[in-house]
Structure 1
């Protein structure tokens, strides 16, 4: 099995290295930035190109792991071939490939990927979709070499899954940043929050998010809430604090 990676960012790096570790041969990396393409290609011991027209045409699978905005611009530049075209995006429909290639689908790993942060891919849920039953079965086997969790999911369901992931991961991490700014202003160590962050994440393995919720917003303790808001100098953070507190109280009241 031969794979070409179109893209060399965080997801492409983690996914391609996981494939290498699983014995899947990555034969080429494409990126418009040569330094990025060569760096990943060196890790994979494969060739690279910065020109779409030089992408090899005899691979079995072509994985498009690029920004959503770049995907449409790239598709029509890829040489025609008989391989299976896959993208890795959460909110892009499978049909984006329609009219460009006969075989296409989706390989979407639900995880956050950062540079210099190792991921155990065997526990990452991977969601697949294809325009044919034969390739769906092929994808089940292909993704099964990487992880124990392979799930067939439609484009419609996947975009809602991606939306939920943004709330659970991206917005949560942004809250860490807001907390970090507050601590930095007072010359307090961010490390003080790490046990709290760890326990907050660990609790939802045993409890529902509703059951795990704590804090003054549950009972809408206006005395504490207003004191906290007074401590914030940024109007946007004040507004965000109020909005989230009201929503926590609303959800807690719906029990």
Structure 2
């Protein structure tokens, strides 16, 4: 049985807590958070608002905003225990060296209240000691996730890539939703196209999957689209992306 303490009570902490509690061989013995109110989600487990009251465990998982990781790690009232954070962009060395350090980063978008399947979420693992890597790997295996040994520098690159494929692409959906609504067109008409675009990269590289007027060099269609767009910011985004695609394909 691997015993763990989760430090943090936000979105990711809740998802980790849920999957850990449902997994044989894993036990969340305690959840810490500064605010008692936020701990109501974890009422089936021991909770505390004081770092001085932390229970002994095999691993301490810091699941908080990046700018709060170091502050919590520095205040932990013990040494030589395994402490990991869950950030995609923060270095493992942000954690205080008085403890054994590691990273347990699930590469996925998490929304509060939306159930996720951890068997489909890759976990990026990093530790300073080989024995500790085995602990993280055993947790990943227990919840059914594929795990990868990823360094802090590699993880930073992955996080930037993730912003492009998730955050930026979702913002494109939001713009498309705004444009379709403004023209009384149901946004759900675009759902099959969104799905097919995502499906393609399972069998093709993004380079090979690219289509559209920018790749074809269809300037007439590009000019028509720009004329249709009302907002300057939308015109700027369209133009920048068009230029990037055209340059990629030698147009």
Instruction: State the TM-score, normalizing by the size of structure 1.
Output: 0.92
Q: Partner residue of 1:31?
A: 33
Q: Partner residue of 1:217?
A: 214
1:92 correspondence with 2:90: yes
1:111 correspondence with 2:108: yes
How far did 1:89 drift?
A: 0.6
Q: Could you tell me how far apart the structure 2 residues matched to 1:85 and 1:129 are?
A: 11
User: Any residues of structure 2 matched to 1:1-255 within 5 Å, and which?
Assistant: 1-23=2-24, 24-39=26-41, 41-42=42-43, 45-56=44-55, 58-99=56-97, 101-253=98-250
Q: Could you tell me how far apart the structure 2 residues matched to 1:55 and 1:185 are?
A: 53
How far did 1:245 drift?
A: 0.7
Q: Could you tell me how far apart the structure 2 residues matched to 1:35 and 1:229 are?
A: 49
Task: Give the superposed CA RMSD.
Answer: 1.6
How far did 1:154 drift?
A: 1.0
State the aligned residue count. 249
Q: Is the deviation greater in 215-224 or in 140-149?
A: 140-149
Secondary structure, counterpart of 1:108 in structure 2: strand
Q: Is the deviation greater in 16-25 or in 103-112?
A: 16-25
Secondary structure, counterpart of 2:75 in structure 1: coil
How far did 1:8 drift?
A: 1.8
Q: Could you tell me how far apart the structure 2 residues matched to 1:186 and 1:30 are?
A: 49
Q: Is the 8 A contact 1:91 1:162 kept in 2?
A: yes
Measured against aligned partners, the alpha-carbon deviations of 1:92-131 in whole angstroms (never above 9, x if no partner) come to 11111133x3311000111111122221101211111111
How far did 1:148 drift?
A: 4.1
How far did 1:188 drift?
A: 2.2
Q: Is the 8 A contact 2:31 2:46 kept in 1?
A: yes
* Structure 1 residues without counterparts, runs of 5 or longer: none
Q: Could you tell me how far apart the structure 2 residues matched to 1:46 and 1:180 are?
A: 42
Q: Is the 8 A contact 1:19 1:26 kept in 2?
A: yes
Secondary structure, counterpart of 2:84 in structure 1: strand
Measured against aligned partners, the alpha-carbon deviations of 1:39-73 in whole angstroms (never above 9, x if no partner) come to 1x13xx202223333332x1111101111111122
* Structure 2 residues without counterparts, runs of 5 or longer: none
Q: Could you tell me how far apart the structure 2 residues matched to 1:183 and 1:224 are?
A: 18
